[in-house]
Amino acid sequence: MLPAPLTSADCDLRDFGRIMIDITRLFGSTFNAKASRHPLAWMVGHKLWYRSWHQVPAASLPDDDDELCYLAELGFDRVTWDSVRDVAMHGWVRCNDGRLYHPVVAEEALTAWARKLRKRHLTLCAAVRKHNERHPDATIEAPNFEQWEGLGRPDRVTQMSRVTAGSASRPSHAKKSSKGQGQGQGQGQGQGQGQGQSYNNIPSVGAATRGTRLPADFVMPDDWIDAAVAKGLPPPEVAREAEKFANYWQAKSGRDATKIDWRKTWLNWVLNAGSRAGRAEPERENDPRVLGGMRFSSPC
């Protein structure tokens, strides 16, 4: 009877770009003792560990020799793959979902996945607290971790308002727009029916002829986060910069506090943050506390 998968089906670590190797464990492993006599098998084995880190579920591989040959960067050279397979695949276990898992890689993947989920939960709780401060007549109770998982792991306050029973509906901001915020904000912060609304209550370019303030209930859209990561900002820093971005622009007063295109304003913010991070990168490169650089115990 085949064992159950060693990581959950939704264990996704594709945004964890770095793995740290436990050198002592690696050189003392059975895999290293066997593969050291076959340099190609040693190289292929390493490649497959790292490939599995970015598979979904993490720490797994397809149980198909053609796919494994391709993932090992051997192309269609099945002759070479067949010659190294037994050594390169040392320690891998076939599970009842039809995939291969490595117990040691899975152990590290579960630790990293738990940290990722905890961070997502804490980020949501912070957003709920801010929402309640700004909307005392429409508060939402922040769930504990178990409740958050039971709700399907929502990432936005707007998702919480849909799934939390008994939550008060959010009042329309269009009636409360004041001088200095203009009609553009009334359209952007209304009930979701304004013609210019997009990106979670943020007016799109051309939605208004004058700039608008960043909405008080602003939540960073997913595609904005993806754009920040694509420009080289590490995922852990994106959450920090998003909070700084919102705090700065929501607290700022005067003419400079309004923008026509908030997405481009965010991208400029990301570029500036990336420049600062680039200057500090040498100190962070080997820091195991970085979210994407989880301590990785090499398979044995």
- Whole-angstrom Cα distance, residue 257 to residue 211? 9
Q: What is the pLDDT of residue 199?
A: 45
More confident residue, 249 or 170: 249
Residue 46 within a domain: yes
- Start-to-end CA distance of the chain, whole Å, equals 24
Quote the Cα angle for 114-118-123, to 5°.
150
Three-state DSSP class for residue 99: strand
Confidence of residue 22 (pLDDT cuts 50, 70, 90): confident
Residue 167 within a domain: no
Residue 224 within a domain: no
Residue 29 within a domain: yes
Q: Does residue 291 contact residue 16 with C-beta atoms inside 8 Å?
A: yes
Tokens of 106: 């899975």
Residue 34 within a domain: yes
Residue 94 within a domain: yes
Residue 146 within a domain: no
Q: Does residue 291 contact residue 235 with C-beta atoms inside 8 Å?
A: yes
- Tens digits of residue pLDDT in 88-137: 999 999 999 999 999 989 988 999 999 999 999 999 999 888 888 888 88
Domain count, the chain: 1
Q: What is the pTM of this model?
A: 0.54
- Whole-angstrom Cα distance, residue 55 to residue 113? 13
Residue 83 within a domain: yes
Confidence of residue 44 (pLDDT cuts 50, 70, 90): very high
Quick check: 187 pLDDT over 70?
A: no
Quick check: 300 pLDDT over 50?
A: yes
Domain with 100 in it: 18-110
Q: What is the pLDDT of residue 277?
A: 57
